[in-house]
Structure 1
Amino acid sequence: MNLLAIETATENCSVALAAHDTIYQQSEVAPQRHAQLVLGFVEQVLQQAQLSRQDIEGIVFGQGPGAFTGVRIAVSVVQGLALALDVPVLGISTLKALGYSVCQQQQPAEQSRILVANDARMGEAYHCAFRWENGGLTELTAEQVSNPDNIETSDYDLYVGSAFKTFDALKHVESVAYADALPTAQALLGLALPIFLQQAVPIEQAQPSYVRNQVVQS
């Protein structure tokens, strides 16, 4: 199916389209410019696939956690497109997409444990643990936001995310961490394609994941 994906929860503005058994993608690391870039990226991937908006059959979005403004941009764009096109949507964790993108590149051993932790600002980190199995990620913990001093880092095979270079409490694993990795819309597609038809919902039921109630625009 022709599936569009949008990820703007971090500094990476990323859009991808699955069509014709091909992934078309556009992305740019552009903090504060997501609102200006995202719809243009949508049009670019459609042009690359020689499709129109009316050919989109579903939309996947990074639901956070991440920068409040970035998450809201993705939700707003997806709301507008899904309502106009009358297509279902599926929100996927930004932390899961981040871990998946690194696992796709590194191909860790089956049953490897992955800790994903991103800088959440305000002296905290968003984090979640996963297990790599059968080419996908299984959640081992719920998404949380914590003081980095309280994040347990032992017994993991991969460490992914900006928190490992931002916080002194986590820098002891910096040499084995993929701290510069960013979530991508292509990773969202990889996670969504096997489950989209079973788990997609009407846009009215889609919800962002902020994890914490206190947010700041970033």
Structure 2
Amino acid sequence: MARILALDTSTEACSVALKLGDEVIEDFRLLPRQHTQLLLPMIQQILADAGTTLQQLDAIAFTNGPGSFTGLRITTGVAQGLAFGADLPLVPISTLETMALTQHREHFSHYILSALDARMGEVYWAAYHWNGSGFDCLMQPAVTAPDRVELTSDLEADWVGVGSGWQLFDQFSPVLQSQLLQIYPDTLPRAGDIARLGEQYWLQGAAVAPELAQPVYLRDNVAHKKGEAGHGA
């Protein structure tokens, strides 16, 4: 068991969690455009409530993307600063895999198509299969128009869709729509499941030094995308 602090500001939600052995403590809030002001106080409060310090942890897990460009920069910067100060490694976690774990944990789904609204008529998406102890990524994270999202494996499985990208359900292809058993469009990344994945990856040796942690935007020319800077931050 590891002691993991987890952070996320990749969407309109802001969440912080601590995994201390079997216990997961989470503070999840919908706080559009308040992440910068509230993330550090939320971290300080959850550590104080648990009676622990950064120096007593094993690692910090954080969502490295995809998601809001500003939100990803906030999470990465705060995670790096805390990790440097406490001499801790970082564990980067995909927002899309995080939502898949939430879906599996709450609904026991095994085939999950995660999608986040990427704005500008596109979605971030990836496909996952729960293998009994973790996820196999069947389709790597990508950004495309909804009608270009397609499944190429395990087509007869009971697929479900999770994440804000499915609020654009009518824009996905009729073929894909027919392959989905159900959609859960209101699910957002949660720090509690980032902490659970963070422990798993930390135990597998997937932690990195703070200076090597980078956001995964999936889109090129990030700074030029009008209207994205404030999304979720």
Q: Which runs of 5+ in 2 are unaligned?
A: 223-227
Q: Deviations over 1:142-181 (max 9, x none)?
A: 1100011111268351111111113531396498201000
CA contact (8 A) 1:165 1:171 kept: no
Indicate how the Cα distance of structure 1 residues 59 and 152 shifts in structure 2: closer, same or farther if over 3 A, else same. same
1:189 maps to a residue whose letter is A
Q: Which residue pairs with 2:73 in the alignment?
A: 72
Matched, 1:209 2:207: no
The 1:17–1:165 alpha-carbon spacing in structure 2 relative to 1, beyond 3 Å, is same
- 1:157 pairs with 151, 159, 181, which one? 159
Distance, in Å, in 2 between the alignment partners of 1:193 and 1:62 is 14
**Which runs of 5 or more structure 1 residues have no equivalent in the other structure?**
none
Q: CA deviation at 1:72?
A: 0.5
Determine which of 125, 128, 136 is the counterpart of 1:127.
Answer: 125
Distance change >3 Å, CA 167–CA 178, structure 1 → 2: closer
Deviates more, 1:44-53 or 1:138-147: 44-53
The number of residue pairs the alignment matches comes to 215
CA distance in 1, matches of 2:97, 2:13: 15
Q: Give, in angstroms, the shift of residue 211 of structure 1.
A: 0.6
Greater relative contact order, per chain length (Cα 8 Å cut-off, separation 6+) = 2
Task: Please say if 1:100 is aligned against 2:106.
Answer: no
Instruction: Please list every run of at least 4 consecutive aligned residues from structure 1 whose deviation after the TM superposition is greater than 6 angstroms.
Output: none
Tell me if structure 1 keeps the 8 A contact 2:19–2:196.
no
Counting only pairs closer than 5 Å after superposition, residues 26-45 of structure 1 correspond to structure 2 as 26-45=27-46
Q: Tell me the TM-score normalized by structure 2.
A: 0.86
The CA deviation at 1:2 is: 2.1
Distance 1:171 1:44, change over 3 A: farther
Which string of whole-angstrom CA distances, capped at 9 and with x for unpartnered residues, describes residues 21-65 of structure 1?
311111101111111111111112111211123323310000110
CA contact (8 A) 2:160 2:181 kept: no
* Deviations 1:86-122, CA, capped at 9 Å, x for gaps: 11011010111011111110012xxx32111110011
CA 1:160–1:171: 2 relative to 1, 3 Å: farther
Q: Which amino acid aligns with 1:204?
A: E
| Cα distance change on mapping 1:167 and 1:176 into 2, 3 Å | closer
Q: C-alpha distance in 1, partners of 2:150/2:16?
A: 33
Cα gap change, 1:33 to 1:203, in 2 (>3 Å): same
SS of the residue corresponding to residue 172 of structure 2 reads helix
RMSD between superposed Cα atoms in Å: 1.9
Stretch deviating more after TM superposition (186-195 or 90-99): 186-195
Moved more, 162-171 or 182-191: 162-171
* Identical counterparts, % of pairs: 37
Match of 1:148 in 2: 146
Amino acid at match of 1:100: L
How far apart, CA to CA, are the structure 2 residues paired with 1:65 and 1:20?
Answer: 28
TM-score by length of 1: 0.92
